[in-house]
Each structure stands twice: as structure tokens, then as C-alpha cells.
Amino acid sequence: MKYLIRTVVLTALLGGLLFTGAQPATTQAGTAELVFTTPCPTPACPISPPTNPCPYLPSPPPADEVWFMSGLEVRNVSNLYGVQFTIRFDPTILQVMDTDSDTPGVQIQIPKGTYFEGRDHFIANNEVDNAQGIIRVAVSLYAPATPINGNAVLGFIIWKYVGTGVSNVSWGNKVETKLVDSNGANIDYTPKDTTLGCPAPPSYTGKVLLQGRANYKDTLVILAMEPCLPSFPNNLRIQSSAQNIIPDMPYAFTNTSGEFSITPYTQQEGNYRCLLVFQHGYLTGQKDIPRGGATNRYAGEITLLGGDVNEDDVINIFDLVKISYHMGAGRYNSVADINSDGRVDISDLTIAANNFGLRGPQSNWQNSGF
């Protein structure tokens, strides 16, 4: 038994010595790393990315304003001659931009600015599947090029953000992603995955109830960058009446419980100053947002008062006249139907009459966090 162990150890030692002697430049297992360097690899990106790559979400951003780069680097490698890698990303958050308009499909950037530039190399594969979120690349040096030792940039990815959130960006498994020496033997390495993304700012939430109704759905809530004014902005009232999408303003409609949640646009985070609330037939509502944005974003709860049928943010004789007109047979009007029960009758008139003389915008939010 002792003899056997000694033989095995001796053989292993000899094997190690022989192996080292035959291939003096071979790797030390596990010391190499594959890394993503973002936004700029060392020593420098070939081109400079914009300062803020996060898009103006959810509005579609101009494509040329939102790109940025990651370098694909190998570090502490010895005798590297060929590389094959698979990289995965979340295509709902990131897309890879094409760097080679002469080749069909989408390619990452090789060799410009990488180790391969100016050296004999063969690109066997360079394809990006932006639908699945997969990059596949295979590159080998060829003679008389000498192997890579130390650190080297293998490629560049030009990304653009297409959605809010954070994507994992990962190297494939050891079958998909391989470093090989000039004999085609695997070089061990440690893959360093990364995350990229623009986390969404915290949402403003709250609850808008409607006097006289049990179902509180479809009240429009808007985040505005202008401070709240003494009167509701007429341009927003016109647009919200048409239920158009409001350009460059985050908005949401309440659910049946009256709850809303609005996520600020990433680039305007901290610039919103007023929460505006609009529902047909009701006084408007609003709430000041502190400069720089609220820390606790629960706006609280407000009950809009009904009866403003002509939507001038005051409940007066004109509204009562209008409701009574629509009480007539064949004159149903959904805005005059304050309580939304399918009829314009004394219930709607009474709601308006009881609010006679009141004006919007209301700002009596309860239990607000700001």
C-alpha cells in the first residue's frame, strides 16, 4: 500500500515536471479572469460614450444619445491563442448596437481597438441575437502571431438601454466560453459576471376616491415638473379630457380602488414638483412635491368632490343647470352622471348642490408621506 502511494506521488511529480518542461509557457490554473469593464475598458474606449446613458424612459430616446460601451477583457492569462465566448443579457433592458454595417446581422467590435488589431487573427464567429439576448464570438490568432500573455482587450460591446431596470450580463458556462492555448488545450479562468442598467426611480403612489361612487377607476394622475399653481393647467385638462398620452409627462390612471402608481422618468428624477389629478365631473386635485423629490412617495388619500359638469373647476349654478338639462328623457350624459350609475337624476344633482360654491384644485390629502 505504501509503495503504491509513493509510486502515484512520484508519477504525479514527474508528470508535473515533464509537463512543465515540455510547455514552459502554459497557464497556472485558475489565475486568468474574464471580465466586463464598463463604461470604459483600460486603457481607454476607442470612442467616448455620453455621460448619462440612461434613457428618458418610458419615452423612446434618440438612439444616438443612449449608447455606452463595455470592454471584454482577459486578465492574467498565459499562452492564450484562441477564445470562444457566449454572453447573455436581458434583451428587454439592453440591446447590442451593430459595429459592422458591412456584415449582415449585428456584430460586436473586433478587432478595432482590441488585442487583435494589427495581429494575424481569424474571426470564426461574431453574432448577436438581440431577441434572445445572446452574443456568440470565436476568434483565434494564427501564425506567426504570438500568444497573449498578461491582460488583453478581446472585444467591445456597444450597448443601448431599451428599458428601465438592471440586467445581468454573464459569461457562458465552461463549454460555451473557452480560452485555449496554441495547442487547443483549455486554459482555466474565472468568469466575472456583471450587472448593467438604469434602476427605475421609486414610484409615487396614492389613492384618489370619488364622492358618490363605489368604483374609483380611471382618474388621471400626472407628474409635472412645474410647481403646483392656483388653478389646474388648462392644457392638461384638454389633453386629459381626450385621454391622449401626455408628451413627456409620466402619468397613470387609478384602479377600481382608486390606487395609482407613477414611476418618474429616469432622467427627470428629482425634478417633479406637482402631482395633478383629474376626473370628469369632479373638482381637480393636486399636491406639491418637495424640491429634489419626496423621500416617502406615498401621496396619501384624497376624495374628489363631484358636480363640476362643465369642468371649469368651480361648482355653481351652471353645473346645476347642466345636470338638470341632462335629467331630461333622452339627454343622458356621462359627465353629468356624477355617481356613474347610468342615470342622470336627483342623486347627481344633490351631489353638485351640496358642493355649491366650492372650487378646485383640491389639496386636502390625508396621511401623506410628503
| Sites of contact with Ca ion (CB under 5 A) | 308, 310, 312, 319, 337, 339, 341, 343, 348
Q: Which is nearer to Ca ion, 106 or 305 (CB)?
A: 305
Whole-angstrom Cα distance, residue 121 to residue 75?
A: 19
In the complex, minimum distance from the CB of residue 286 to Ca ion, in angstroms, rounded to a whole number: 17
In the complex, minimum distance from the CB of residue 307 to Ca ion, in angstroms, rounded to a whole number: 7
In the complex, minimum distance from the CB of residue 284 to Ca ion, in angstroms, rounded to a whole number: 11
- Strand runs (DSSP E) across 92-230, as ranges? 94-96, 121-129, 134-141, 148-161, 165-171, 178-180, 186-187, 189-192, 194-198, 204-210, 220-224
In sequence order, which ranges of the chain are alpha helices (DSSP H)?
A: 2-22, 234-241, 317-326, 346-354
In the complex, minimum distance from the CB of residue 336 to Ca ion, in angstroms, rounded to a whole number: 8
In the complex, minimum distance from the CB of residue 345 to Ca ion, in angstroms, rounded to a whole number: 6
Q: Which is nearer to Ca ion, 23 or 310 (CB)?
A: 310
Q: Which is nearer to Ca ion, 263 or 339 (CB)?
A: 339
Q: Which is nearer to Ca ion, 106 or 323 (CB)?
A: 323
Range 75-114 burial, b when 16+ CB lie within 10 A, else e: bebbbbbbbbbbbbbbbebbbbbbbeeeeeebbbbbbebb
In the complex, minimum distance from the CB of residue 314 to Ca ion, in angstroms, rounded to a whole number: 5
DSSP bridge partners of 70: 157
User: Which is nearest to 107 in space by CA: 132, 126, 123, 134?
Assistant: 126
In the complex, minimum distance from the CB of residue 357 to Ca ion, in angstroms, rounded to a whole number: 11
Q: Which is nearer to Ca ion, 113 or 360 (CB)?
A: 360
- Sign of the alpha-carbon torsion through 71, 35, 63, 127: positive
Give the phi and the psi of residue 210 in degrees, each rounded to 5. Answer: -125, 120
- Sign of the alpha-carbon torsion through 143, 144, 147, 148: negative
Total Cβ atoms within 10 A of residue 218? 14
